Amino acid sequence: MILIRALIWSTLFIGLMLVFLPGQVLSTFGVTRPLTLGVAGIAGITIAVAGGALAAWCILTFAVIGKGTPAPFDPPRRLVVRGPYRYVRNPMYIGAGLVLVGAAVLYRSPALIGYLLVLAIIIHAFVLGYEEPTLTRMFGADYERYRSTVHRWVPRVPPASRDGSAA
């Protein structure tokens, strides 16, 4: 049931933020599908697929480990610090951003980069104003410890623990 809820929410979010609104941007600026892919098109598709795979990994991690969904009204019941969350605190947003970068490269569209920048500002404000305070209330010291060792936006390999295993 959790996985179904996660898939429904993710489909709605992806449909709106990564398909419908970017489609509106492309239409507004008169951008059409390229007739040939070429190197840029293949690169764009590769970037978008990598971003989509990262986002899908995050959604599954939320459902399986966190026992919740990416939706703010149905969040994970457990703090998720494994999978891609081991390297960066917001990998799902990074995956979505990569999808948009890939689409911008594929369509050769600066307008999609503009959309991505506006969306990034909105998401950053949401993370600072809602997500981080909510996670602090929900998970307390565990989240504070996680927050002190894992960056918000820049992935990095976690330091090794004293026994030699990754922290």
Percent with pLDDT over 90 in the chain: 78
**What is the band of 165 on the pLDDT scale with cuts at 50, 70, 90?**
very low
Query: ∠ CA 154-103-92 to the nearest 5 degrees?
Result: 35
**What is the band of 164 on the pLDDT scale with cuts at 50, 70, 90?**
very low
- Model confidence pLDDT, tens digit, residues 32-86: 989 899 999 999 999 999 999 999 999 999 999 999 988 888 889 999 999 999 9
Its pTM stands at 0.90
Buried b (16+ CB within 10 A) or exposed e, 69-105: bbeeeebbeebbbebbbbebbbbbbbbbbbbbbbbbb
